[in-house]
Structure 1
C-alpha cells in the first residue's frame, strides 16, 4: 500500500459526507457526487500501487539513496555537500565592488557563493523593499 494517497482519500470522503447534508438534490449535484466518487476511486487505486521508494516530499519520483535521511538521492547530495557559510565580515558593498572589478568567479572564490549571491540580491532589491538596518550596497554608474 502507498500511504501517499491517504490524504486525498480522506479529502474525497469528507467531501462526499458533505453532500449528505444537502436537502436539494439536482442533476448538477449528482454530477458533482459522481466526480468526487471518481476522484476517490482513483486515489484508492493509487494507494493500492507500490509505495514510492523514497520519502521525499520535494522529489517524490526521484532516484533513491539508501544512505540519505529521507531516501532521496537529490536531497542526500545537498546534505552531504553543505553550502559555504557567509563570512562573518560580510559587507555587501565590498563584495559588489570586488565582483564588478574581478568578475563572478573571483568573487565566489574570495567570499563564497552564498555571500556573492546575497550581495547581488541586495543590490537588485529596490530601496523601498529593504529591511531596516540592512546595509545598502553602492550603485554602479549603469544603475544610477
Structure 2
C-alpha cells in the first residue's frame, strides 16, 4: 500500500465532501458540476495509486525503480542518467580531433575509444575516413 498516495487521497476526499456540503445549500450550475466531476476523478485516480505498491525511491519519476546502493532511497536510474550527462558534457568540453580518436582506436580499440571520447566522437572519426572499426581484444 502506498502511504504517500493515501495522504493525497484524504485531502481529495475532504475536497469532495466540501462539494457535498455546498450542494445541499445551493442549486449547482454546470460549472460547479464540472468542478465536482474533476475532483471525483482525481480522488478516483488517487485511490488506485494508494492501492498500488509503495514507492521504493524518493524519485517522483521512478517511484518504484531501483534504489542506489548505500543511499537513503536515491533513484539509481536518475543517478545513471546524471552520470552519463556529466560524462558527455566533459567530453564535449574537450576539443577532440578525429586524429586523436583514431589514434586511440588503433592503440586500444574501439571500445576504449568510446569510453574515453563517447560514441558520437568515435562515429564521427570513423566516418571521416574510409576505415573499418577495430574491436578491442583486451580489457
Question: What interval of TM-score do these two structures reach, taking the shorter chain for normalisation?
Answer: 0.3 to 0.5
* Structure with higher helix content: 2
TM-score, normalised on structure 2? 0.42
